[in-house]
Each structure stands twice: as structure tokens, then as C-alpha cells.
Amino acid sequence: MSDTPMDDPMDDARHGAARRDDGRVERTGGPSDDAPHGVHASRERRVAQARDDDAGREQQAAQGARALFGDQFESMSGYVDILVGQGVEWGLLGPREPERIWSRHIMNCAALLEVIGEGVDVLDVGSGAGLPGLVIAIARPDLNVTLLEPLLRRFNFLKEAVDELGLDGQVLVERGRAEDLKQHFDVVTCRAVARLPKLLGWTMPLFLPDGELLALKGESIDEELADSADIIARNGLSAQVMQVRATPEVDVAHILRVQAG
């Protein structure tokens, strides 16, 4: 008797294969590597649903923006066109951001509008693509806005955007760093520039003693406040966390307001 193990036809069947008369095995059924498995199909459905939800939120945000900005909506739409065009081409926005430009960016910045007083001088530090500085300037023609940006490519983008939007008489674009500026402003704004301890060191000389810092922050705002407790106390500052919705359709924006105590 041969010691060679005999082939088990049932083993072939369990693996979706059939043995031919010549002994060769060919696949007849079972799961295909090319067909999506159940878990993959489920994941694809979830991704598709998430995209539909995002698209719905974006549409609602754009509708809310039309009501919020009123006569300035056309100009804001022009700025959005610049962002999703040159802004992406120049690498100032990621390739996914055009899909959520209103909900994630424009309306997040618009939360600052009801906090800023009338006719004041505003400095937007690290303005980047103009968020929030250009949103503020377009929505509030009563404000004088300075966009401060140290990087040449972003500075050039801002200059071109201001020119294209016809904001030359209201908006000044400067290239430089906050710590090198020797002016005073009523309001200093920023978004995604630096953590609060470093940000305060840069901006306090620009808004003290009678101005304020309005910083758009994320979920780490409480942690940043805790890390800044010493500098806030040492300089006699008061800090307030504000949760503001530009319109009911959009997410809450976390605004940190810092003033002289």
C-alpha cells in the first residue's frame, strides 16, 4: 500500500473546486476575490451614506449662508470660487475641502461676525487662505481688516484674492510675523495658527490694553486654556470660551475670547 495520502473530493468541494477526470482541479464556485465580501459591501454603503449626509449638510450650510450674508452673498460666493479653484491649485486647501467649503470653513469663520463690534480695526494673524480674515471683511464692510501672513505663496494668494474681490480699499495684506508687528488693533483674529500659550505671546502686544483676541479653536480648547493658566494670570487677562453657531444648520464654532481682566 502506498503511503501517499489520497485526495479527498469533499475537501475540494468545501473550497469551491471540482476535480476533473484528468485529476486537475478547477474552481467552480465559492467566494470570488473580485467580488466584494459582505463586510466590504457594508463599508461601501456606509461610506456612500456618509457622503450623502455631507452633501446634505453642505447644501444646508450654503442656504444658511445666503440668508446670513444677504447682499454680500454674491461676493462671498466669489471668494468661495477662488478658494476651490486657486486655493486648491496653490495647495492652500486640501483636495477634499471643496466638498465642505461652506459647512466646514466659511460658516465656521462666520461665527465671529456677531462677536466683533462695529467699525473696528481687525488683524487676522496667519491668514493663510483668508480664513477667517476675508470672510470677516466680505461680510462686514464696516470693518478695516489687515491680513498678516509670513509665507510668500500665501501672501501672493491673498493679494490676488483681495484685488479680484475688489476689497483694496478695506483690506490691507501684509507679509510678516505677529511678533514683529508694532501696531495696535481693536481685534486680533486667528484660526488654526498655534496653541494658545504661543499665540498669546505673539498677539498680546497687538491687542492690549483695550483690545481682544478672538481665536477659533477646536476640541482641545480646554486643554489649551489649562496650559495657558500661568500666562493669563500673570498678565491680568480674562479668557472666555464661547460656543456660537453662525446659523442653526451648521456646527458650533468654539471661540476663545481673551481680554484684559
169 has binding-site annotation? no
| pLDDT tens string 236-253 | 999 999 999 999 999 999
Residue whose entry in the numeric block shows the C-alpha cell 461680510: 139
- Which has the closest alpha carbon to 17: 31, 8, 35, 25? 25
The model carries a pTM of: 0.80
126 has binding-site annotation? yes
| pLDDT tens string 168-201 | 999 999 999 999 999 999 999 999 899 999 999 9
218 has binding-site annotation? no
94 has binding-site annotation? no
**Cα separation values, 49 from 44, 45, 52, 54, 59, Å:** 9, 6, 5, 9, 15
What are the structural domains, with CATH classification, of the chain?
107-260 (3.40.50.150)
194 has binding-site annotation? no
- pLDDT at site 179: 93
**Cα separation values, 169 from 155, 223, 229, Å:** 17, 39, 39
| pLDDT tens string 52-111 | 557 889 999 999 999 999 999 999 999 999 999 999 999 999 999 999 999 999 999 999
